[in-house]
Structure 1
């Protein structure tokens, strides 16, 4: 068996009952959820409706099908054989089974489809019970009942895993919608098994997390998307300062009680990446890697500041080897609204009124020829991309002089001035690949992260390779999908099976 190869969603589970205040039809909110989740599932998906459906509703369904690149089929209970033939001809796939998802009040209309080898999934109407239940112990069920549409991806996942056997691993993923879509549209999260035997299923807070994870082998998460607050006034460990959403807390509790459920990556492993001070301290350990190369790789010079008006701040900056200009960042690296609110400071007296969240990290500004090297560690592979970056200090100072050298405030998620005329054709020759590979492997061991990224700039005057940022589960969108996605799958499979490599190899 090859599991579910195609799904037809009936109008009865997509359309909201009744029209809106303007007399126009609309889709159910849970229907929108399912349409989005199946869009990049790598499973054929279509929408069916009856010949007697009103023209406005048909137009709405057809528009939805065009938006999500789905097929449309007209379903006549009196011509089921024709419907089955039309779907089979359109999708032209003889492996696996087709599934028709309908509301319970249309259950009897499609009963004959079971004899054609179709799976029928019935969405119960509120308050309507059934004497037919689907459970993991049911052999080859032809009819499955669900209480919420959000259960559909998990149901498909279960059927596909059962059909493919024990070698297939299921991965539940949880992250904010925009990030999920960025990964999904590149083909990263198929419900149809990948060539190396992974099935991806979206997790949702609309269902109990414990229910969803019963058949999940591992969880891929971006927990920072679910941070509510980070309390920096406490003297406790950073781990205890982070408050997550209720749903993410439920996930944490489940994982704590089920150590056999693998997590990519454990919450304790990502906390250092949330704390710019901790990362700076970790990067200090790079000194031990500099014996073999003529170049040096290091973190930037830095100083933690809890009050911009504190006495002798200037002396402390000098002791930390910090000279103007420098860059000031919040200690909290991500997950909160102002984590990316930064400033470049040009004058000593600018600190006292600086509008950057405290505590903050004052960091060395490195002249780097407006060039940044973004490295991505994905399992045992390393990728990199060359990006244009902020100008050297002299250019920034000229820009700041127009505003009396006031601090340059910016959001690091948005663009800063770059040298658009600079060519990057020769930048690849400046990077010491062996040195950075050693650093990547060292960070991989120290951080114990499966997928992470770091940014390197090369100091013009010394050739020092300076790691100015580290983050976990980056999008690595600069890497071609045909290379990045299989590597992504392999890294996850290795994590789930415990067959992780101890060293990475750079991939140019």
Structure 2
């Protein structure tokens, strides 16, 4: 890896959360140079890059309505297309689809079939595209087989607003939703969330607090609005995460099932840096997938730096091997053999 240049294109917030300075020092100790890419400046003079690691979520989302962001994204895409030897981690189309919960939940809903042997599923859900009359939404909820309580999430899976969610307990309270949004049957899971952090062919499970159990079926309880990021922080403690009754501990996710889930998602997503939120159904003990996250924070993963550098190294080694093989095939055997 000595002499390799790795470009990083991250928002200031992501840069801080990842502690990019510390990662750059770690890479430097292994002979790898980390270069922070400034999207507001021409990219060519900042290169060359062997690989670019990025999280362009802000730019991609803002490009839908902001001309400056559109230009930044176009400049980045132009650089990538004119420098095909530079590896992009991860592909832009793959990342873009996960910014839309409608798209990511369609992927999740298919896991039941592809991972049937592992008893892995995703709760039933409904896409609400626009503000239609309440009775139409109520009928759609029934038609899709959703059960109360429901959890409501924004369509856009990025930014602070994407963490703003609500728990809806009755058909009448569906008036509280703000389309476009996604409704998902809430699954009681003993207030424990398992965050699976994926780095290439490695993954790590970290346990976090989560929403407590609620009685199944509709009731007259008012809608609960909450921030999922606050609820599931490692140190979180709130009424929403406190179990009302003494409940026996659920078994942790089967390591073989999680292995199978990660393998399947790597293929389906065409990505190497992502997170999966899973819970264990308290009644069936089924591994239930409830969300997929782009390039997450990796909090609680002490091996993150070494795992990321190892993955970058393996990707570049594979790229070098493929390039050498193509050259040899095109030009015949190397001279002297």
**What is the match of residue 172 of structure 1?**
7
- Partner Cα distance (1:379, 1:413) in 2: 25
**What is the match of residue 496 of structure 1?**
316
2:35 to 174, 188, 201: 201
Instruction: Describe the SS at the equivalent of 1:443.
Output: helix
Instruction: Describe the SS at the equivalent of 1:430.
Output: coil
- Partner Cα distance (1:396, 1:180) in 2: 43
Whether 2:193 is the aligned partner of 1:372: answer yes
Q: In the superposition, relative to structure 1, how do residues 331 and 230 fare at CA in structure 2: closer, same or farther (>3 Å)?
A: farther
Q: Deviations over 1:205-253 (max 9, x none)?
A: 453222112x211111111132453759xxxxxxxx9993543332122
Deviation, 1:181, is: 2.0
Question: Is the CA contact (8 Å cut-off) linking 2:168 and 2:223 kept in structure 1?
Answer: yes
- Partner Cα distance (1:433, 1:347) in 2: 36
Give 1:240-319 correspondences, 5 Å limit: 244=69, 246-293=71-118, 296-306=119-129, 307-309=131-133, 311-319=135-143
Q: In the superposition, relative to structure 1, how do residues 186 and 372 fare at CA in structure 2: closer, same or farther (>3 Å)?
A: farther
**What is the match of residue 386 of structure 1?**
207
Instruction: Describe the SS at the equivalent of 1:369.
Output: coil
- Partner Cα distance (2:127, 2:295) in 1: 26
2:241 to 388, 403, 418: 418
- Partner Cα distance (1:367, 1:492) in 2: 38
Deviation, 1:459, is: 0.9
Q: In the superposition, relative to structure 1, how do residues 220 and 471 fare at CA in structure 2: closer, same or farther (>3 Å)?
A: same
Question: Is the CA contact (8 Å cut-off) linking 1:209 and 1:247 kept in structure 2?
Answer: no
Q: In the superposition, relative to structure 1, how do residues 292 and 298 fare at CA in structure 2: closer, same or farther (>3 Å)?
A: closer
- Partner Cα distance (2:248, 2:151) in 1: 28
**What is the match of residue 254 of structure 2?**
432
- Partner Cα distance (1:194, 1:287) in 2: 44
Q: In the superposition, relative to structure 1, how do residues 243 and 366 fare at CA in structure 2: closer, same or farther (>3 Å)?
A: farther
Deviation, 1:256, is: 2.1
**What is the match of residue 156 of structure 1?**
none
Question: Is the CA contact (8 Å cut-off) linking 1:228 and 1:245 kept in structure 2?
Answer: no
Deviation, 1:452, is: 0.8
Instruction: Describe the SS at the equivalent of 2:188.
Output: coil
**What is the match of residue 171 of structure 2?**
348
Q: In the superposition, relative to structure 1, how do residues 252 and 350 fare at CA in structure 2: closer, same or farther (>3 Å)?
A: same
- Partner Cα distance (1:270, 1:288) in 2: 23
Deviation, 1:341, is: 2.6
Deviation, 1:275, is: 1.2
Whether 2:280 is the aligned partner of 1:458: answer yes
Question: Is the CA contact (8 Å cut-off) linking 1:326 and 1:363 kept in structure 2?
Answer: yes
Give 1:20-31 correspondences, 5 Å limit: none
Instruction: Describe the SS at the equivalent of 2:274.
Output: strand
Deviation, 1:393, is: 1.4
**What is the match of residue 221 of structure 2?**
405
In our comparison, the structure showing a higher alpha carbon Rg is: 1
- Partner Cα distance (1:202, 1:180) in 2: 10
- Partner Cα distance (1:393, 1:297) in 2: 22
- Partner Cα distance (2:245, 2:9) in 1: 39
Q: In the superposition, relative to structure 1, how do residues 216 and 191 fare at CA in structure 2: closer, same or farther (>3 Å)?
A: farther
Instruction: Describe the SS at the equivalent of 1:189.
Output: helix
Taking structure 2 as the reference length, the TM-score comes to 0.82
- Partner Cα distance (2:140, 2:67) in 1: 29
Higher relative contact order (CA 8 A, sep 6+): 2
Whether 2:12 is the aligned partner of 1:189: answer no
CA RMSD of aligned residues (A): 3.1
Q: In the superposition, relative to structure 1, how do residues 383 and 348 fare at CA in structure 2: closer, same or farther (>3 Å)?
A: same
May I ask how many residue pairs the two structures share in their alignment? 312
Instruction: Describe the SS at the equivalent of 2:110.
Output: helix
Q: In the superposition, relative to structure 1, how do residues 228 and 346 fare at CA in structure 2: closer, same or farther (>3 Å)?
A: same
Q: Deviations over 1:449-475 (max 9, x none)?
A: 111110101111111211111012112
Q: Deviations over 1:168-217 (max 9, x none)?
A: 3211111122221222268322386343x43211112453222112x211
